[in-house]
Chain A
């Protein structure tokens, strides 16, 4: 009896303390720098949301590795104040403060960094998180490219937002030229039927809405799952077996480590395995829709059509 009363008193004390702590927090909330910026403009992000951003952006948080790469590529890397644990490229990004991983960023850390914009990729499912930042009046800008052209458009828009349209234009000239070189080489060739294995167990692949479906086409291939709804469907073993691909692409060896390095059991007897046409490509070049995606395109094309790229 006595011990239970002591426990009750203890619990009440903890509650009181917690309550006091909440009060003191809400009183001393810091003024956010984004609210003090004088000139703002409204832009539309790739999810169709209207976002009000300062004309001059000095503090950026990126919540996806491809966005971090874009920020550096357009010459705004010195303004990046926060990144995820997956953002490991370019190497100097690693010295920027970490805010957690793509799926579980720490909202507290993001707020503490006082960013003027938080860059988000829809692939990382951040609805709940976005709402919290909206409440803090921190702008969230969403990118959602579904083709190589849309990746280029993302780079161009982000370049404009950071006042770096000249750097972005120069970068895009180069990227477009390289993509064009690949495409003119692959255009006359017979497309290779490709199965792109996102993960082996459970079996995930790319579908209609994935930018990778477009990338494979440009590299002189055709994804055997190009008509499946959504971007990254959980795929049926039976349908995988019946798809009989001539080549299988395993994105692995980069951030994925040695995960996804083996062909899914359902594909073990496919023509691709029989003819020894299973190819591992560094997943960082394919799973990050940013500037290095063109490196991925070049590797993909060389892999599918070695005879045309000597």
Chain B
């Protein structure tokens, strides 16, 4: 029921964002074209603007939002840590390093980027997890510290790669690192959608186990949860989600932190609801942010990551102040 309402909201946002843009299209014409009719009052290049440029970008924004929000929700539940988030854990930076290595060494192959990004994300995830596990198990503080260490280390690696790289390519990389949804290709879009679907389904299938693991790993074990297997699947699925989103759009920050918390504050912390709801809300959130990024100073553009942080942070503070306890 909740998910149906949120899906409706997503559809509304999708339609609104596809009729606004740097280039004005007639409202009736655009709406008519969206329904799939060929005989609408749009010229050839208006159709091209709508279908070749605007729609792929909105679809990518949605996929990226879904990936990041679902991954954030999963990390928070699995690690029992409200601050666990792809960026704070260094997972995004791992994916970014993987993508850059792919671009430098196998620039020609479009599939190299997402594959290497996934590799980087999963390596960073397990590195952080191992670093965080002391003799007494992984405490929330140790986890965040480990994440900070891995994040800064990987940031230095990124700076190193951009510095030794060809100077003329640096500008496009720095822009990409800040999050850039423009100029997507159909194969990157396909990868992002497949990854989003596979990752979210894998997480939803483990949502009940995650609920039990939130009680504590011991209790979950006593209740019959195969902890090791669940952890492996959830880490792999979350890394897949983060890898796909970073490979296709760079680093769009704040989504994995803000969206799952908003969802929990609104609907409670049952992961069977939180994960799909975060996936839908994440898509909505990034689509709204990117629509602002491409329209506010049109025909110029803003980096979408700046918008997600600008909307996300105050919204988050407001909900915290309102007093609803954010229990993970």
Which residues of chain B are near A255, meaning CB under 8 Å? 168
Tell me if B45 is interfacial: C-beta within 8 Å of chain A.
yes
Alpha-carbon gap, A228 to B300, bound state (A): 8
Contact indicator per residue, chain B 162-184, by CB within 8 Å of chain A (1) or not (0): 00001111011001100010110
User: In the bound complex, do residue B300 and residue A241 qualify as a contact, i.e. CB atoms below 8 Å apart?
Assistant: no
Which residues of chain A are near B166, meaning CB under 8 Å? 257, 259
Alpha-carbon gap, A228 to B299, bound state (A): 7
Tell me if A266 is interfacial: C-beta within 8 Å of chain B.
yes
Tell me if A72 is interfacial: C-beta within 8 Å of chain B.
no
Tell me if A264 is interfacial: C-beta within 8 Å of chain B.
yes
Q: B residues 144-201 with Cβ under 8 Å of A?
A: 166-169, 171-172, 175-176, 180, 182-183
User: In the bound complex, do residue B300 and residue A236 qualify as a contact, i.e. CB atoms below 8 Å apart?
Assistant: yes
Alpha-carbon gap, A134 to B107, bound state (A): 43
Alpha-carbon gap, A203 to B23, bound state (A): 16
Select from chain B the residue with minimum beta-carbon distance to A237.
B53
A-B pair number, CB within 8 angstroms = 79
Q: Interface of chain A, helix or strand or loop or mixed?
A: loop
User: In the bound complex, do residue A202 and residue B299 qualify as a contact, i.e. CB atoms below 8 Å apart?
Assistant: no
Tell me if B48 is interfacial: C-beta within 8 Å of chain A.
yes
User: In the bound complex, do residue B183 and residue A265 qualify as a contact, i.e. CB atoms below 8 Å apart?
Assistant: yes
Tell me if B27 is interfacial: C-beta within 8 Å of chain A.
no
Alpha-carbon gap, A203 to B22, bound state (A): 14
Q: A residues 176-224 with Cβ under 8 Å of B?
A: 199, 201-204
User: In the bound complex, do residue B49 and residue A264 qualify as a contact, i.e. CB atoms below 8 Å apart?
Assistant: no
Which residues of chain A are near B171, meaning CB under 8 Å? 199, 202, 204
Alpha-carbon gap, A264 to B182, bound state (A): 11
Given contacts A199-B171, A235-B299, contact A241 B49 (CB under 8 A): yes
User: In the bound complex, do residue A241 and residue B172 qualify as a contact, i.e. CB atoms below 8 Å apart?
Assistant: no
| Pick from B21, B176, B301: contact of A234, CB under 8 Å | B301
| Pick from B54, B169, B180: contact of A238, CB under 8 Å | B54
Select from chain B the residue with minimum beta-carbon distance to A283.
B168
Alpha-carbon gap, A266 to B57, bound state (A): 12
Which residues of chain A are near B54, meaning CB under 8 Å? 238
Tell me if B320 is interfacial: C-beta within 8 Å of chain A.
no
Contact indicator per residue, chain A 243-279, by CB within 8 Å of chain B (1) or not (0): 0100000000001110110001110010000000000
Tell me if B298 is interfacial: C-beta within 8 Å of chain A.
yes
User: In the bound complex, do residue A256 and residue B168 qualify as a contact, i.e. CB atoms below 8 Å apart?
Assistant: yes
Alpha-carbon gap, A175 to B204, bound state (A): 70
Which residues of chain A are near B23, meaning CB under 8 Å? 236, 238-239, 241-242
Tell me if A230 is interfacial: C-beta within 8 Å of chain B.
yes
Tell me if B80 is interfacial: C-beta within 8 Å of chain A.
no
Tell me if A101 is interfacial: C-beta within 8 Å of chain B.
yes
Alpha-carbon gap, A144 to B301, bound state (A): 24
User: In the bound complex, do residue B298 and residue A236 qualify as a contact, i.e. CB atoms below 8 Å apart?
Assistant: yes
Alpha-carbon gap, A241 to B25, bound state (A): 13
User: In the bound complex, do residue B49 and residue A259 qualify as a contact, i.e. CB atoms below 8 Å apart?
Assistant: no
* Nearest Cβ on chain B to A41's Cβ, whole angstroms: 37
Tell me if A77 is interfacial: C-beta within 8 Å of chain B.
no
User: In the bound complex, do residue B183 and residue A242 qualify as a contact, i.e. CB atoms below 8 Å apart?
Assistant: no
Which residues of chain A are near B169, meaning CB under 8 Å? 259
Given contacts A101-B167, A202-B180, contact A266 B300 (CB under 8 A): no
User: In the bound complex, do residue B175 and residue A202 qualify as a contact, i.e. CB atoms below 8 Å apart?
Assistant: yes
Tell me if B294 is interfacial: C-beta within 8 Å of chain A.
yes
* Nearest Cβ on chain A to B44's Cβ, whole angstroms: 8
| Pick from A86, A234, A244, A266: contact of B53, CB under 8 Å | A266
Alpha-carbon gap, A256 to B182, bound state (A): 23
Select from chain A the residue with minimum beta-carbon distance to B295.
A236
Given contacts A238-B49, A259-B168, contact A264 B300 (CB under 8 A): no
Which residues of chain A are near B52, meaning CB under 8 Å? 241, 265-266
Contact indicator per residue, chain B 238-273, by CB within 8 Å of chain A (1) or not (0): 000000000000000000000000000000000000
User: In the bound complex, do residue B45 and residue A202 qualify as a contact, i.e. CB atoms below 8 Å apart?
Assistant: no
User: In the bound complex, do residue B45 and residue A230 qualify as a contact, i.e. CB atoms below 8 Å apart?
Assistant: no
Which residues of chain A are near B168, meaning CB under 8 Å? 255-257, 259-260
Which residues of chain B are near A244, meaning CB under 8 Å? 45
Alpha-carbon gap, A238 to B23, bound state (A): 6
Which residues of chain A are near B21, meaning CB under 8 Å? 236, 238
User: In the bound complex, do residue B300 and residue A229 qualify as a contact, i.e. CB atoms below 8 Å apart?
Assistant: yes
Alpha-carbon gap, A257 to B171, bound state (A): 15
Alpha-carbon gap, A242 to B57, bound state (A): 17
Alpha-carbon gap, A86 to B168, bound state (A): 11
Tell me if A233 is interfacial: C-beta within 8 Å of chain B.
yes
User: In the bound complex, do residue A203 and residue B183 qualify as a contact, i.e. CB atoms below 8 Å apart?
Assistant: yes
User: In the bound complex, do residue A239 and residue B167 qualify as a contact, i.e. CB atoms below 8 Å apart?
Assistant: no
* Nearest Cβ on chain B to A245's Cβ, whole angstroms: 12
Which residues of chain A are near B298, meaning CB under 8 Å? 236, 239
Alpha-carbon gap, A204 to B301, bound state (A): 10
Can you list 10 pairs linking A and B with CB atoms under 8 Å apart? A201-B183, A202-B180, A229-B300, A234-B301, A236-B298, A237-B182, A238-B22, A241-B53, A266-B52, A269-B48
Q: Residues of B at under 8 Å CB distance from A?
A: 21-23, 45, 48-49, 52-54, 57, 166-169, 171-172, 175-176, 180, 182-183, 294, 298-301
